[in-house]
Amino acid sequence: MYWLALKAIFSSVIGSTFYQWFKNTKVGVWFQDKVDDFMEYLAGKYDIEIAKREENWLSQYPNLKARIEKLEEFDGYNALDKRITKLEKKGK
């Protein structure tokens, strides 16, 4: 029983020490970049954890949440685009 606990502790220490050295090598930087890309892919594909984090963040900042929701509800982009186009044609 004690052997398993000691083995886990030693493995953790050795693994942590190896990673501290490995992360600064060229191969380590490349590997970490690939791991980050893969994690972003999974986060985009399953989007569950990100949604929970976003909801927690928005609950901490209710005023900002209200402003973001107000901006998302704005539907005047087409009218603004038409007006800008009209003004640009007048300027020519």
Q: Which amino acid is at 82?
A: K
Q: CA 87 to CA 90: how far, in whole Å?
A: 5
Q: CA 18 to CA 58: how far, in whole Å?
A: 38
Single pTM value for the model:
0.42
Nearest-5° Cα angle at 12, 8 to 13: 120
Q: CA 24 to CA 80: how far, in whole Å?
A: 50
**pLDDT value at position 51?**
63
**pLDDT value at position 6?**
84
Per-residue confidence band for 48, with pLDDT thresholds at 50, 70 and 90: low
Residue range 61-91, pLDDT digits in tens: 889 888 888 887 777 777 888 888 888 888 7
Q: What SS3 class is residue 14?
A: helix
**pLDDT value at position 84?**
87
